[in-house]
Amino acid sequence: MATVWLNKYRFDPFFRTEVNVIGLQIAFALVILGLVGTSFSLLYHDVSAAIAEGMRQGASGAAPHSLAPTIVEEIASIKSQSLAIIFSVITLTTILFAYIIARITLAPTRNALASQKQFIGNVAHELRTPLSIIKTNTEVALMENDVSSDMRMTLASNVQELDRISEIINNLLSLSALVKPERMEFSTVDLSALATDVVEKFSPLAQRNGIAITVRKSPDTQVWGNVTALAQIMGNIIKNAIQHSPRGGEITVTIAPTPGNTVEFIVQDSGIGIAQKDLFRIFEPFYRSDPSRMRGTGGSGLGLTIVSELTKLHHGKIAIRSTLGRGTAVSVFLPGTTGKGGIGKELGGKPGMNEIAVDFSSRTF
């Protein structure tokens, strides 16, 4: 029986955590009892010494009526000092044990989360090569002249699904990379120039969907960040706007400095909007509202999750305002190097508009 429990302790991290926490709780109780016992022994010793000193002075001829108040004051002083010391020691001991217990309790979860993300990253890397080969073979088959129309439609649909799987894999790799943000290199980035490049990258997709994109840029839009991460933030938001806007819709991308040494990046679309019940969950991985985030749009359900995580790493802020049937506006505020100007004039509140804001600027990570 002892061997069974020992093996379970060695190989089951959660059982080991339970045993360790129980042991620490017992140790904490014993330490507190020891501190209280020691404190009361010292208090008893000091009080006894004060009384003995008073009796000695009384025996030496001191007036009894003046001696009693002195002894009482001395005992009261000893009690106050002892209680202050006991309170401080017990408080510090409690904080120390609480920290140790919290670290031990969360260790299995922390390790499991890191292992899970590492596993997802490894699997995503392994899937890339076979998917690439399948897509290439399918595209080669589409180039054949003797392919029937039905087969051509099937192959074209397969290519689209392969592209969607590739997007999911790329997003999973991005989430996996966020486990070690210390690898990200930060520098001064011109957000206006970067936005121009990102919009140009998604222009073919917008043209295929019949959507016009307008870019409004301002001077003094330098921010402190990682250029690759910032490009991904912009790309995910712009792609979301394209996917959820109807044919003939309009998207406005605005980059402007704002008060507080920040720069605001706004993407406003004329799409179907997001309901209030869905707005508070859109940053959850794989969450899709109905009908604004249907799988038919081709999204992976990870885009805004990555935007949220990358914005957190930049100590920025995200604000989303949406009205059903009238569109959505996503604002990302990032730490700037100059910071001045107006703030989101085209995002003024309107009746029926739903809004959510997540601020990472004042948090410690």
246 and 330 share one domain: yes
203 and 341 share one domain: yes
Q: Are 170 and 128 in contact (CB under 8 A)?
A: no
Confidence band of 291 (pLDDT split at 50, 70, 90): very low
Q: Is residue 254 part of a domain?
A: yes
Q: Is residue 364 part of a domain?
A: no
43 and 97 share one domain: yes
Q: Is residue 214 part of a domain?
A: yes
Task: Note down the domain range covering 9.
Answer: 1-179
Q: Is residue 365 part of a domain?
A: no
Q: Give the span between the Cα atoms of 262 and 338, in whole angstroms.
A: 8
Instruction: Answer with the one of 179, 197, 226 that is the final residue of a domain.
Output: 179
Task: Summarize pLDDT for 170-186 with one digit per residue, the tens.
Answer: 766 766 665 555 667 78
203 and 174 share one domain: no
Task: Summarize pLDDT for 333-346 with one digit per residue, the tens.
Answer: 998 875 443 333 44
Write down the pTM of the prediction.
Answer: 0.58
- The number of distinct structural domains making up the chain is 2
Name the average pLDDT for the chain.
77
Give the pLDDT confidence score for residue 59 in this predicted structure. 60
Mean pLDDT of 352-356: 59
163 and 302 share one domain: no
Instruction: Answer with the one of 117, 146, 179 that is the final residue of a domain.
Output: 179
104 and 186 share one domain: no
89 and 189 share one domain: no
Q: Is residue 309 part of a domain?
A: yes
Give the domain CATH number at 308: 3.30.565.10
- Return the amino acid letter for 351: P
Task: Summarize pLDDT for 214-224 with one digit per residue, the tens.
Answer: 999 888 889 98
Task: Summarize pLDDT for 184-210 with one digit per residue, the tens.
Answer: 778 899 999 999 999 998 898 899 889
Confidence band of 350 (pLDDT split at 50, 70, 90): low
155 and 263 share one domain: no
Instruction: Answer with the one of 119, 154, 179 that is the final residue of a domain.
Output: 179
185 and 175 share one domain: no
339 and 200 share one domain: yes
Q: Which residue has the higher pLDDT, 321 or 35?
A: 321
Q: Is residue 103 part of a domain?
A: yes
Name, of 20-34, 35-49, 276-290, 297-311, the range with top average pLDDT. Answer: 20-34
Give the pLDDT confidence score for residue 292 in this predicted structure. 43
195 and 300 share one domain: yes
Q: Is residue 106 part of a domain?
A: yes
In the chain, % of residues over pLDDT 70:
74
44 and 168 share one domain: yes
Q: Are 361 and 333 in contact (CB under 8 A)?
A: yes
